């Protein structure tokens, strides 16, 4: 669904639009140029989709200056969004391979959902569809993610969930999946994208994942290890010149 922000200051920014309630697209006014320009955000916290950087409480009084490149369209995600993303396929007839990714952007009223059907028939009217709801709760020291039970009879193509939690700046102290922290989960932390990733099996039932905030440095590694979490070293990615 295409939407436009309601604030007059943002409406006046003719090159910006909302794609649904969660994504703000802000292409350059003149795509063939790489001149800097300003983006005005609705007054909530936003995340840069590509870098994971957080933009606190955009408002008409504090527009953000963008330095564009020809190969990247600026996209921003509203806080509280959970975006389901499948691996790349070449057509709707192709079955995606790999885990379903949930990009979690903690914030107010944090939730998301996924809907699937066969895409070619009216079988969904007889229950042949798949719907899953997601929620997250942010506390002072943790992010709690709830994966709802699958609804409908349509089969899921994935067996694992890859949860990418943005806005994190250190390894977690502890990770629990359905109350258990002793199992080794595949995890990684990418400092350049402010993102912690954990891959968990998904058999279709409800799940609860708790990620407790971590400290900087090697002490976080030790605490994560004691919690039974297999932690990879942060990935250092240098921006292209």
Per-residue pLDDT of the chain (241 residues; tens, 9 = 90+): 444 444 544 445 568 899 999 999 999 888 777 889 988 888 889 999 999 999 876 545 578 888 888 889 999 999 999 999 999 999 888 999 999 999 999 999 999 999 999 989 999 999 999 999 999 999 888 999 999 999 999 999 999 999 999 998 888 888 899 988 865 678 889 999 999 999 999 999 999 999 997 643 333 443 433 333 444 433 444 444 4
Residue 118 lies in a domain: yes
pTM for the model stands at 0.81
Residues in a beta bridge with 35: none
Q: What pLDDT was estimated at residue 169?
A: 84
The number of distinct structural domains making up the chain is 2
Last residue within a domain, chosen from 57, 78, 99: 78
Q: What is the pLDDT of residue 9?
A: 47
Residues with Cβ within 8 Å of residue 82, at least 6 apart in sequence: 102, 103, 104, 105, 110, 111, 112, 134, 135, 136
Domain range for residue 63?
2-78
DSSP state of 126: G
Residue 20 Ramachandran class (φ > 0 left, ψ -120 to 50 alpha, else beta): left
- Single residue among 78, 104, 133 that ends a domain in this structure: 78
Backbone angles phi, psi at 140, to 5 degrees: -60, -35
Q: Which of 78, 108, 125 is the last residue of a domain?
A: 78
Q: What is the pLDDT of residue 171?
A: 82
Structural domain contains residue 126:
yes
Task: Verify that 124 and 194 share a domain, yes or no.
Answer: yes
| Cβ 25 vs Cβ 17: under 8 Å | yes
Q: Is the Cβ–Cβ distance between 116 and 153 less than 8 Å?
A: no
- Judgement on whether residues 186 and 96 belong to the same structural domain of the protein: yes
CA distance 135 to 210: 12
Tell me, yes or no, whether 24 and 74 share the same domain.
yes
Same domain, 139 and 220: yes
86 and 182 housed in the same domain: yes
Same structural domain, 170 and 55: no
| 8 Å CB contact between 24 and 18 | yes
Query: Computed from CA positions of residues 236, 172, 88, 28, in that sequence, does the dihedral angle turn out positive or negative?
Result: negative
Examine the domain organization and report whether 158 and 181 are in the same domain: yes
Per-residue confidence (pLDDT) for residue 111, from 0 to 100:
96
Does 237 map to a domain?
Answer: no
Same-domain pairing of 127 and 15: no
- Could you tell me the CATH number of the domain that includes residue 39? 2.60.40.1180
């Amino acid at each position: 669904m295409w939407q436009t922000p309601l604030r007059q200051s943002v409406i006046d920014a003719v090159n910006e639009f909302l794609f649904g309630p969660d994504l703000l697209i802000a292409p350059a006014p003149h795509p063939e140029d790489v001149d800097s320009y300003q983006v005005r955000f609705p007054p909530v916290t936003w995340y840069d989709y590509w870098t994971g950087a957080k933009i606190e409480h955009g408002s008409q009084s504090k527009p953000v200056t963008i330095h564009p490149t020809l190969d990247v369209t600026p996209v921003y995600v509203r806080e509280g969004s959970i975006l389901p993303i499948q691996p790349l396929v070449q057509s709707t007839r192709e079955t995606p391979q790999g885990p379903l990714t949930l990009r979690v952007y903690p914030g107010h009223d944090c939730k998301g959902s996924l809907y699937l059907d066969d895409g070619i028939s009216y079988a969904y009217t007889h229950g042949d569809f798949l719907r899953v709801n997601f929620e997250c709760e942010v506390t002072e020291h943790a992010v709690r993610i709830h994966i709802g039970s699958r609804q409908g009879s349509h089969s899921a193509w994935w067996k694992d969930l890859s949860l990418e939690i943005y806005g994190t700046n250190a390894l977690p102290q502890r990770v629990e999946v359905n109350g258990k922290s002793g199992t080794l989960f595949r995890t990684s932390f990418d400092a350049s994208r402010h993102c912690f990733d954990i891959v968990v099996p998904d058999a279709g039932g409800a799940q609860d994942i708790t990620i407790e905030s971590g400290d900087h440095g090697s002490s976080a590694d030790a605490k994560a290890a004691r919690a039974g979490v297999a932690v990879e070293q942060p990935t250092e990615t240098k921006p292209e010149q």
